[in-house]
């Protein structure tokens, strides 16, 4: 079975089961030796190894990605890393599990759709760095490297409906409508007290 076909099957199984089902061992056993050397450079303190990292060699700064599949792998690692960085040490322990269960799978759907739409120019896609601290909404943006224009902006906003406590509203904006519309990714409850600043 060709390597690209095995990897495609692994991605499909992972995406459609939200990582709850482990792909059959025979699909990635040939890659096990090749994968041993790459993981140490990508494992960050306090961030568990994700499903994506278990089965794929993540792109280096030199290689980046060559197809939609490798872009989604890279983008999901960045989504997880930058979200946890934005939460900071005070917010992270409270919402991290719900974020991984509710919001990350929705982010993956959006990123996979973008990758499919832009497969022919996938090498031009880039992920922004440095989420916004304080009260800023930005988690990360996906932009076109050649034009410098944002394509999708992933944000989180604090909400405080009357008598309902504080919520974190995860959403994204698209360039198609000039970033005007909010597309929901999910909401996570904080409590009745105002949350700390991001990255605190």
Q: Are 137 and 155 in contact (CB under 8 A)?
A: yes
pLDDT in tens, 169-187: 999 999 999 999 999 999 9
For position 66, what pLDDT does the model report? 80
Which DSSP state fits 99? I
Helix/strand/coil for 72 = helix
- Mean of pLDDT values over 157-169: 95
Helix/strand/coil for 87 = helix
Contacts of 10 (CB under 8 A, 6+ apart): 23, 27, 28, 55, 56
Domain spans, the chain: 3-189
Instruction: Give the pTM.
Output: 0.69
Strand partners, 155: 138, 171
Residue 116 CB-half CA count within 13 A: 6
pLDDT in tens, 66-112: 899 999 999 999 999 999 999 999 999 999 999 999 999 999 999 99
């Amino acid at each position: 079975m060709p390597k690209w076909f095995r990897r495609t099957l692994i991605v499909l199984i992972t995406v459609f089961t939200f990582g709850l089902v482990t792909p059959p061992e025979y699909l990635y056993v040939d890659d096990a030796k090749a994968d041993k050397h790459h993981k140490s450079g990508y494992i960050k303190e306090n961030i568990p190894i994700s499903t994506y990292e278990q089965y794929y060699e993540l792109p280096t700064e030199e290689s980046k990605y060559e197809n939609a599949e490798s872009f989604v792998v890279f983008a999901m690692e960045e989504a997880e890393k930058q979200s946890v960085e934005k939460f900071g040490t005070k917010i992270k322990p409270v919402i991290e599990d719900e974020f991984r269960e509710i919001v990350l799978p929705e982010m993956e759907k959006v990123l996979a759709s973008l990758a499919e739409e832009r497969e022919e120019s996938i090498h031009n896609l880039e992920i922004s760095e440095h989420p916004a601290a304080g009260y800023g909404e930005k988690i990360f943006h996906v932009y076109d490297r050649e034009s410098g224009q944002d394509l999708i902006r992933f944000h989180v906003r604090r909400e405080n409906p009357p008598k309902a406590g504080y919520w974190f509203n995860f959403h994204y904006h698209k360039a198609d409508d000039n970033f005007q519309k909010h597309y929901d990714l999910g909401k996570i409850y904080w409590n009745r007290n105002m949350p700390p600043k991001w990255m605190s």
